[in-house]
Amino acid sequence: MDDAAILKKRGYVLGINLGEGSYAKVKSAYSDRLKFNVAVKIINKKKAPRDFLERFLPREIEILAKVNHRAIVKTYEIFETSDGKVYIVMELGVQGDLLEFIKSRGAISEDVARKMFHQLSSAIKYCHDLDVVHRDLKCENLLLDKDFNIKLSDFGFSRRLTRDENGKPILSKTFCGSAAYAAPEVLQGIPYEPKIYDIWSLGVILFIMVCGSMPYDDSNIGKMLKIQKEHRVHFPKSKSLTVECKDLIYRMLQPDVARRLHIEEVFNHMWMQAPKPRVPLATSPVKEGECSRNLREFKSDKTLPACFDGGLALQRQTSLRIVTPYQALEWHLVGTSFLPPLSVLGAPLLRFAPSV
């Protein structure tokens, strides 16, 4: 039975193809039960790599069972067929992702950026309070709903934070994510505190939002790392950013992990406390094309090799190619929900209560 027939039996009318990789694809669909369009991720377990099935999949399932937040992409239903295909029905980012939004419309005003960044930070604080770390925060993983609200997606690199007998976080030795958003300690292969890694990525995202450009050029990892370690952050003069906005970005892009902000400090920063805009995001003024060439041409196709373990000084690498848990999969609607071999297969696994 093909995908359309399988989904039809469960009340979905299959739509267009949104993306496809070596062992997974994403399609749009209309839900008769929900009465709106959804995204359906279809994974062929027979083609998926062993490391993905045994390592990343269990972590992701555990996290999906926990997270429930208005700024995180919802998972409505997960089921598996007898031929080894997993179907994940999730919230559709109808306005695309944040990177494409900025590429097409340009840098976002501080007032609008504050609202969107507050939504993202709220989702990260929610996760961090649960000791869940994302480890692949980037604009491509931030989907936009019909009202241009942020929806955090893709928990493929996420995991629960582990602690020692004294309650101190155990440093991670799995170096993963996208090079352009990766913290210097991760690029160097130094064991790192995952929550602090997430903060660096938040700094990169906010810079892109308000500047319409990348803070660092990842075409030369060694050069980029040198600039990062010297704590050099160049803000375009044409943007006329407030001192408070620059200060928050600068503190999040702090190479010294002992001095980098925690998520609570991000929330309490003076820039975050400014009055929120009353205008809807969809009608907020943005000017066409006001993004730099480096952002228009940017693709996060340089990532840390296969989410590798162990020390690897990436500054010695001249060419990096990210191989994510999804490997060649290059689509953005990746709401991060998969299914382990459980006896409940064939029935809905996850149904979320109202978001908090």
Q: What is the pLDDT of residue 79?
A: 87
Span 28-85, pLDDT tens digits: 999 999 999 999 989 899 999 988 888 887 788 788 778 999 999 998 988 889 998 8
For the chain, residues classed under CATH 1.10.510.10 are: 98-316
Share of the chain above pLDDT 90, in %: 60
Mean pLDDT across the stretch 100-104? 96
* The one-letter amino acid at 277: P
* Mean pLDDT for all residues in the chain: 82
206 vs 332: which has the higher pLDDT: 206
Contact assessment for residue 194 and residue 159, using Cβ atoms and an 8 Å cutoff? yes
Among 2, 3, 32, 136, the active-site one is 136
Task: Give residue 338's pLDDT band: very low, low, confident or very high (50, 70, 90).
Answer: very low
Span 248-257, pLDDT tens digits: 999 999 999 9
CATH superfamily to which 98-316 belongs: Transferase(Phosphotransferase) domain 1 (1.10.510.10)
Say if residue 7's pLDDT is above 80. Answer: yes
Span 178-211, pLDDT tens digits: 999 999 999 999 999 999 999 999 999 999 999 9
In this structure, how many other beta carbons lie within 10 angstroms of the beta carbon of residue 17?
Answer: 11
Q: How far apart are the C-alpha atoms of 242 and 12, rounded to whole Å? A: 48
193 vs 294: which has the higher pLDDT: 193
Task: Give residue 23's pLDDT band: very low, low, confident or very high (50, 70, 90).
Answer: confident
Say if residue 335's pLDDT is above 70. Answer: no
Task: Give residue 281's pLDDT band: very low, low, confident or very high (50, 70, 90).
Answer: low
For the chain, residues classed under CATH 3.30.200.20 are: 3-91
Q: How far apart are the C-alpha atoms of 75 and 90, rounded to whole Å? A: 4
Say if residue 111's pLDDT is above 60. Answer: yes
Which long-range contacts link 296-301 to residues 24+ away (Cβ below 8 Å)? 296/103, 298/99, 298/180, 298/214, 300/138, 300/140, 300/178, 300/179, 300/180, 300/181
User: How would you class 80 by CB atoms within 10 Å of its CB: exposed for 0-12, middle for 13-18, buried for 19 or more?
Assistant: buried
Tally of helices (H runs) and strands (E runs) in the chain: 11, 11
Q: How far apart are the C-alpha atoms of 85 and 195, rounded to whole Å? A: 33
Q: What is the pLDDT of residue 346?
A: 34
Which long-range contacts link 6-15 to residues 24+ away (Cβ below 8 Å)? 6/81, 6/85, 6/87, 7/40, 7/87, 10/77, 10/79, 12/38, 12/40, 12/89, 14/40
Mean pLDDT across the stretch 316-335? 32
Contact assessment for residue 228 and residue 254, using Cβ atoms and an 8 Å cutoff? no
Q: What are phi and psi of 72, to 5 degrees?
A: -120, 135
Q: What are phi and psi of 351, to 5 degrees?
A: -130, 120
Q: How far apart are the C-alpha atoms of 93 and 143, rounded to whole Å? A: 5
| pTM score of the predicted model | 0.80
136 noted as active-site residue: yes
We find that the CATH architecture of domain 3-91 is 2-Layer Sandwich (3.30)
Say if residue 161's pLDDT is above 50. Answer: yes
336, 345, 301: which is closest to 66 by C-alpha? 336
Q: Is the dihedral of CA 277, 282, 285, 291 positive or negative?
A: positive
User: How would you class 276 by CB atoms within 10 Å of its CB: exposed for 0-12, middle for 13-18, buried for 19 or more?
Assistant: exposed
Q: How far apart are the C-alpha atoms of 333 and 137, rounded to whole Å? A: 14
For residue 183, how many C-alpha atoms fall within 13 Å in the half-sphere facing its CB? 28
Mean pLDDT across the stretch 289-304? 60
Task: Give residue 341's pLDDT band: very low, low, confident or very high (50, 70, 90).
Answer: very low
Q: What is the pLDDT of residue 317?
A: 32
Contact assessment for residue 324 and residue 157, using Cβ atoms and an 8 Å cutoff? yes
290 vs 222: which has the higher pLDDT: 222
Say if residue 334's pLDDT is above 80. Answer: no
Asked whether residue 239 is marked as a ligand-binding residue, the answer is no
